[in-house]
Each structure stands twice: as C-alpha cells, then as structure tokens.
Chains A and B, each alone.
Chain A
C-alpha cells in the first residue's frame, strides 16, 4: 500500500493585512495610524497526498494556493491545524526534512545572476554536502534529462527565460529531493519550453517516484501532469479528486462539427432530433453527451451523407474557470 507522504489536518492561516484609503489624506492617516485587520487566508483545510502522486493546486489569484505550498515546505508557520510532510513538522525546518524537499518558483530565482549556472550547482552541492564526484554525476544526469549543455557555462543574465528555468530546476534538484513543490514553474515560458518542462517533470516523477505538488495557471500543465487536483476557493478546498471526473462533470457534452455533402442533408440532420448549436449551409454543429458519442456518431454516419466531421473538446480553461469561481463541488 502506498503511504501518505503529506498529511494536512484542519489547517488555517491568518495574516495581518493593513489597508489604506486613497489620496493624500489617506496616506497621512495610514502613516500615523495604520489600520490592520486579521485576514484568514486559509480556512480549515484537510487533505492527504500519497508518495509518488502529482497533485495540482487550482485556484484564482489570491485563493491561497501558494500559501498552502509555503506552509507545506515550512516557510510559513500555520495559525491552526497540523501538517506532517514525510513524517516531519515542516516549520521546524530540520536538515533531514530540507534534504527531502525542494521549492521551485517560476517568478523567483536562486541562481547567481552574474555567473554561469554550473557555479550555483556546485555551491548547492556543497550546501547539501555532496562530494565533487557525486555532484558532477548528478549534474550530468539532470542536464541530459533537461537537455541543457552549453548553457551551463554561460552567465545566467545572458540565458533565455526557458534556459534559466531549466537551470533553476537543476539547481533545485541536485540533492535529489523526493518531494517537489512547484509554484507556477512554467510562468512566462514559450510553448516549447513549457512542453519540455512538463516532459521533464513526468520523467523525473516516473524515474524517482517523487511526489509533486504543483500550482499553475496554465491548464496544459495541470492536464498533462496531474491526475488529481485540489481546487482552492477563497482559502477553502472546493474540490479534491480526480481531474477527469471533474472535467466530465463540468463538461458533459462535446460539440461535433459535421460537414454534409449537401445542404439538404444538413437540413435533414437538423430535424433528426439532435441538439443543434448552429447551422451554416452544409455545415452543422451539434451537441452530444459524452456517454452517447459512439452510438450517436454511428447513427449519423449510417443515415446521412457526411463529407467530414470534427469533435471539439470544450476549452479546458473555460471548464476549469467554472471551478475557480464556485465554492463547492461534490462529485
């Protein structure tokens, strides 16, 4: 049986936030008498994550995804509740715990700006107490997986964002952690760089059985990496379960564009009982429920003269977007 590597129970976090009225008067008032209020950004959440799982945290900006990740890796003290990661209380930041985890943030970097990435790798290797031979071996292995070579010897400031992100990943993985916290790792990357990064993470997970907790606003990251998602809405969990179940629930129908041989055939199809979305000359778009796609298509192909047809999945961003604004999803 696969063991739980992360166990979160009734976790809450509050921050003191100061607010300011607009204008000069507000600024002066704010300077002399700052008004702060306690804001509960994480509200009584509980979940468990199994070893080797890749879990995506979904939520709108400010929903609390990053705060959860930062509590899981021990950067922020929880206000209430308990967290166990790999058997450790994260906020104690014990060396053995820190050797097991890594945090990668798409918008922040740890590489030394003026030097080639290789220098940062060896610095990290010494911090994780790796000898030179072992460090060299790991850098070679990871650079092959990440498909970077010459970039290792070029100053970071001269690398492209994609090359820099790959180097950041290498720096963060040199100690071979078995829990990865990734906060928007593909932020700002082009499509190819995003795909390469996803490919790498899939391979890393497969080869090392590492647990990966990921937040991203790019739905492709979530759909290609995560079987399970945890949706966070205003600090609470609105859904925790399989991604495909959520997608099925949220988009029960598919749109099919059918190109008929003649307009007459299209007219016949329009009146044959299918839900029609629109019709332009010999092209007709109908909606079919996911569970009757095969039988419906069989009927259409047998009874109508069809030139071509296209099955359109509803845009995933649109579907997930529905989750982000809703408080609770029971599936």
Chain B
C-alpha cells in the first residue's frame, strides 16, 4: 500500500467533504446545538439515576461520568466518520454507485469508510475530551505514562470494535439491500454503553460482552481511567478489536464477490 498516496487522497477527502458541508451553514449550526443539548441531557439523565442511591453497580456518579465522556467521544467519532460514510454504503449498493468506488485503483474499504466527514461531530469529540479532563480532575486520576498508554490503547480498540461492528452490518447490504434497521438497533445498544456494565443483570452482562461487545467499547476504557481494570481485560479487548477488524475486512472482501450492481 502506497501510504503517501493514501494520505494525499485522505487530505482530498477532508477538503471536499468539509467544503460540501460548509455549503449548508444552518445545518452545521443545528448539528452543533444538538451535540451540546444531547450531552447536557445525558448528564442530567445520569444524575437522576444516581439521585436516590449514590452508587449504581458499584460506580459513583463521578466515576460513571467517565463512561459518559468516553461514550461522547465515541459518539462524536461515529457522527464525524461512521455515520456519514457507513450509512452511505447502503445507498451505494441500492443505487449501484459502488461501481465507481470498485473501479478506482484504491482500497474500496478505505474509500467508503473515510470519504465523508461531518464537521459538527468534532464538537462532540471536543466536549467528550473536556468532560474526560473534568472527570480526571474530580476523580483525582494520576496522569502517568502507563495510564496514558493504556487509555489510548483501550479507546483505540473501542473505536475499532465500533467501526467493525457497523461496517459488518453495512456490508450485509450486499445481500439484504436494506439494513437501516440493523444499524438503528446497533445505535440503540450503544446508548446502553453510557451505563456501567455492572449495573445490568448477569445475563445482560454476558449478552453485552459476547454478542454485542458494548462492555469492550466503554466500560473497559473507563475502568482503565479509574485504575480498576486488570491487564487480562485490556489484553482481551485488544484481541477482540483485532479479531473484529480482521473479520470485518475479510467479510467485506468476501461480500464483494456477491455484488451484482444495480440494474441500469
């Protein structure tokens, strides 16, 4: 893979999608306001849950805020990259415009995963990081090298798992054509990621760890922040993320063999 070429193309992707989005100023403004209100609403909802009892699943409100911060960052990444690109796969396949992607001398997964960008998602990412910094302060977390390394690894793994899950579902469009519902179900499950995994029953914990790995997406990185995570959990998250990335990649290449393009 020619890295220089891919960087050059990504620079163009950034430029064209920012220019496209900036054509509609009001839309960006509405998105920005929505991002702020959504975060305020989520924190308010979380505070209500903690009002009666100071703890949920062994977590204090200040600790649960870390999960909210990580969720906000991931949601920001989802809205910046995954949502505008991966939902477009369905459109590409339904309308047959995937033809243009497949006939370009560039990796098709790279193209369809990164072509677009939604700048309003950046604000959500920034708000998430601000909240995270606030949580670091109120939870008196010691910022040292091992903490930064482990938190970066676990957040990166979370992004990979989330991307792979979404990409996997979008890929099934090649056979099922419409998969909007499945993506909506995935997004609904992600909302659950705002709460500590321990706050759910045993069977739900198993479900959210094995079938829909929400636990790996928000809870494990949050545990790293609080110094609660054990090394085997982090290793497991790295393994799960690697398996997800490889599987979704192979699944995409396999699915393309069944792509029949839309009729003209």
| Chain A residues at the B interface, C-beta cutoff of 8 Å | 15, 66, 70, 73-77, 93, 95-96, 98-99, 101-103, 105, 107-110, 112-115, 119-120, 122-124, 126-129, 155, 183-184
A13's nearest neighbour on chain B, judged by CB, is B260
Closest to B20 in A: A114
A184 to B264, CA, bound (A): 9
Q: Are A129 and B2 in contact (CB under 8 A)?
A: yes
B189 at the interface (CB under 8 A from A): no
Q: Tell me if A76 and B9 are in contact (CB < 8 A).
A: no
Are B9 and A103 in contact, with the CB atoms below 8 A?
no
Chain A residues positioned under 8 Å from B99 (CB to CB) = 70, 75, 103, 105, 108
Q: Is the CB of A101 within 8 A of B103?
A: yes
Known contacts A66-B264, A76-B261, A114-B23; decide if A126 and B16 are in contact (CB<8 Å): no
CB closest residue in chain B, given A65:
B264
List B1-40 residues whose CB lies under 8 Å from chain A.
2, 5, 8-9, 11-13, 15-16, 19-20, 23-24
| Known contacts A66-B264, A74-B103, A128-B105; 14 further A-B pairs (Cβ under 8 A) | A75-B261, A76-B260, A77-B257, A101-B103, A103-B99, A103-B100, A103-B103, A110-B97, A114-B20, A119-B15, A120-B16, A122-B12, A123-B9, A128-B104
Using known A-B contacts A75-B103, A101-B103, A108-B99, determine if residue A126 contacts B9 with beta carbons closer than 8 Å.
Answer: yes
In the complex, what distance in Å separates the CA atom of A74 from the CA atom of B99? 9
Contact with A along B71-107 (1 / 0, CB 8 A): 0000000000000000000000001110110111110
Cβ contacts under 8 Å, B23 to chain A: 114-115, 155
- B contact residues around A15 at 8 Å (CB): 260
| Interface band, chain B | 20 to 34
Decide if B263 is an interface residue (CB 8 Å cutoff).
yes
Q: Contact check: which of B8, B9, B259 meets A75 at CB < 8 Å?
A: B259
Question: Residues of A contacting B261 with CB < 8 Å?
Answer: 70, 75-76
- Chain B's nearest CB lies how many Å from the CB of A137? 18
Indicate which residue in A98, A107, A112, A120 contacts B105 across the interface (CB closer than 8 Å).
A98
The residues of A that contact B12 with a CB separation of less than 8 Å are: 122-123, 126
Determine the distance from Cα of A110 to Cα of B15 in the docked complex, in whole angstroms. Answer: 17
CA distance A112 to B100 in the complex (A): 12
- B93 to chain A minimum Cβ distance, whole angstroms, is 12
Give the residue name and chain of the B residue nearest to A110 (CB): B100
A124 to B16 CA separation, bound complex (whole angstroms): 11
Complex interface: chain A residues within 8 A of B8 (CB): 126, 129
Of the candidates B11, B13, B20, the one whose C-beta lies within 8 Å of that of A115 is: B20
Pairwise interchain contact B264-A98, C-beta atoms closer than 8 A = no
Distance to closest chain A CB from B243 (angstroms): 27
With A15-B260, A108-B95, A129-B5 known to touch, is A98 a contact of B104 (CB < 8 Å)? Answer: yes
Residues of B within 8 A of A112 (CB): 16, 20
Cβ distance B108 to chain A, nearest Cβ, rounded Å:
9
Q: Which residue of A lies closest to B108 (CB)?
A: A93
A73 touches B264 (CB 8 A): no
Considering only residues 125-142 of chain B, those with a C-beta below 8 Å from chain A are none
The answer on a CB contact under 8 Å between A127 and B100 is no
Q: Are A108 and B20 in contact (CB under 8 A)?
A: no
- Bound together, the chains give a CA A174 to CA B209 distance in angstroms of 49
Please indicate the chain A residues that have their CB under 8 angstroms from the CB of B20 in the complex: 112-115
- CA A122 – CA B264 in complex, angstroms? 27
Whether A127 lies near B264 (C-beta < 8 A) is no
- Residues of chain B within 8 A (CB-CB) of A99 are 105
Contact of B264 among A76, A96, A102, A183 (CB under 8 A): A183
Within the assembled complex, what's the spacing in Å between the Cα atoms of A170 and B104?
15
